[in-house]
Amino acid sequence: MITSSPMGWNSWDCYGAAVDEKTVRANAEYCAKNLLASGYEYIVVDIQWYEPTAKNHEYHPFTELVTDGYSRLMPAVNRFPSAEGGKGFAPLAEYVHSLGLKFGIHIMRGIPRQAVHADSPIQGTDRTARQIAKNDSICCWNTDMYGVDPSKEGAYEYYLSIFRLYASWGVDFVKCDDIAREMPHCREELKLISKAARNCGREIVLSISPGPALLEEAEMYKQYANMWRITDDFWDKWELLYNMFERCEKWSIHTGFDHYPDADMLPVGPLRQDYDVNDRTKFTENEQITMLTLWSIFRSPLFIGGEMTKFDDFTLSLLTNTGITDMHRNSRHAHQLYRREVNGNELIVWTSVSAEGGTYLAVFNAGETDARFDISLHEAELYGKYKAVELWSNEESTAERHIVTAIPSHGAKAYLLK
């Protein structure tokens, strides 16, 4: 059970399928030193850690993967040397834990095609991979796995066997891919995975991908996952950020105790290092402020996508603003208050209640020009006189009936009113 929305780092945005142990250790060390105090605690190794030849963000169709004798994927030792001798991620997890952090991995729904073709056994059963694979269930963007047929004897045992393995390694977080948007046809398979995660003997946060998840399945996600992606892969493009307002609006009432709709990783700082070590986020500083403001009032999980060891001051300050991380932790009942055209610009206002008292107002200028907005407090059903703190600037003022504020194009402000 988790009582606040998870925070941490994920290797995908900066290394794609090619993350290695050295990188993970370096980022973990940076995180422990600079970001853990702000709440960032999960270090997550993303996809293809079981593939010896992975080089960048691209997948290798039908390539040979590392498996154990029980249809289970194992870390490629050439990329994760500490995994040698069948130790899996246990040594790396142990190191991450030693820094005060938690350790996570990515998995794909299903069972390796290799294991199905080899008809490998399922641990602790007399069943084989071929007997539990679902013939017509494949991922459309990756060739590693077949889906598992939940109606087959041995299906649950397979999933339990992999989660028990991860538990034995010390895994705290599993991001299960190729499932969140695959509804309703993968609903029973998700339930099986969820049950295995909860019965594996270790507290493991279950994050599911990719999005967009289906709104009409909201109650199901709430019961069977801790986080679910509400969007396809999010990258450093304004259009994607702009569209997130609507996604967050729709999902806002489904955020709460132990379950958090997920707007995806934060593409900040150095990205796509597998292609170009000089690549940096294309987002402007204002756009990054908009992103952090929206993610935080909405309580999306906050997973840093950039190579942290090369962060500049702005990026670090963006992620560690105390007012904002407090809002991320304390925001309750968040929802869009309204969205409207104001003098040719697009004004979006969100509100929420702070668990520590007071009301949050987040004000976004989604338009293309800098603008001055007059925000009526009555429209937020705030009728008295308030002390207002703008969280990014830490400026304090008295507010009654109105807040008048200048916001640059694509920028945002966040207020806590008491």
In whole angstroms, the minimum distance from the beta carbon of 309 to a second copy comes to 34
Is residue 305 helix, strand or coil? Answer: coil
Question: Using CA atoms, how far apart are residues 181 and 72, in angstroms rounded to an integer?
Answer: 24
Residue pair 162/196 in contact (Cβ under 8 Å)? The answer is yes
CB of 358 to a second copy, least distance (A): 12
Residues 6+ apart with CB under 8 A from 33: none
- Inter-residue contact 18 to 26 (CB < 8 Å): no
Cβ-based nearer residue to a second copy, 74 or 129: 129
Contact flags string 253-292 toward a second copy, x per CB under 8 A: x--xxx----------------------------------
Binding mask 192-231 vs a second copy (x if CB under 8 A, - otherwise)?
---------------------------x--xx--------
Q: Which stretch binds a second copy (CB under 8 A): 83-91, 246-254, 315-323, 397-405?
A: 246-254
Least distance to a second copy, CB of residue 338, Å: 6
Measured from the Cβ of residue 219, the count of other Cβ atoms closer than 10 Å reads 9
CA distances, 283 to each of 239, 263, 290 (Å): 11, 16, 10
Binding flag, residue 366, a second copy (CB under 8 A)? no
Site string for a second copy, 11-50 (x = CB under 8 A): ----------------------------------------
Token readout for 71 is: 């249809």
Of residues 105, 380, 407, 414, which one binds a second copy by CB under 8 A? 380
5 forms part of the interface with a second copy (CB under 8 A): no
Of the candidate residues 22, 33, 62, 86, the single one contacting a second copy (CB under 8 A):
62
For the record, the structure tokens of 19 come out as 């993350």
Find the part of the chain contacting a second copy (CB under 8 A) among 80-88, 194-202, 366-374, 379-387: 379-387
Q: Which of residues 105-124 bind a second copy (CB under 8 A)?
A: 113-114, 116-117, 119
Task: List the 331-342 sheet strands across, edge first.
Answer: 331-342, 345-354, 359-365, 412-417, 385-390, 395-400, 402-407, 371-376
Helix axes 238-251, 285-298, angle to 10 degrees: 10
- Pick the closer one to a second copy by CB: 223 or 317: 223
CB-count exposure of residue 403 (10 Å: 0-12, 13-18, 19+): buried
The residue (of 121 and 408) whose beta carbon lies closer to a second copy is: 121
Whether the Cβ atoms of residue 273 and residue 15 lie closer than 8 Å to each other: yes
Number of residues this chain uses to bind a second copy (CB under 8 A): 45
Alpha-helical runs (H) found in 331-405: none
**Which CB atom, from 293 or from 331, has the smaller least distance to a second copy?**
331
Tell me which amino acid residue 68 is. D
Please report, for residues 137, 216, 266, 308, 367, the alpha-carbon distance to residue 44 in angstroms, rounded to integers and kept in the order given: 26, 29, 14, 13, 35
Residue in 85, 126, 136, 239 binding a second copy, rule: CB under 8 A: 136
Give the count of alpha carbons within 13 A of 197, CB side only. Answer: 27
Binding mask 321-360 toward a second copy (x if CB under 8 A, else -) reads -----------xx-xxxxxx----------xxx-x-----
| Residue 249 CB, nearest approach to a second copy (Å) | 7
> Does position 130 bind a second copy by CB under 8 A?
yes
The least CB distance from residue 122 to a second copy, in Å, is 15
C-beta of 97 vs 113, nearer to a second copy: 113
Q: How far is the CB of 26 from a second copy (least distance, A)?
A: 33
State the residue for tokens 């990188």: 23
For residue 161, give the 3-state DSSP assignment.
helix
Phi-psi region of 284 (alpha: psi -120 to 50; beta: other; left: phi over 0): beta
Query: How many helices and strands, by DSSP H and E, does the chain display?
Result: 12, 19
Q: Is 404 in the site for a second copy (CB under 8 A)?
A: no
Question: Contact residues for a second copy (CB under 8 A)?
Answer: 1, 3, 61-62, 113-114, 116-117, 119, 130, 133, 135-136, 138-143, 219, 222-223, 249, 252-253, 256-258, 332-333, 335-340, 351-353, 355, 378-381, 383
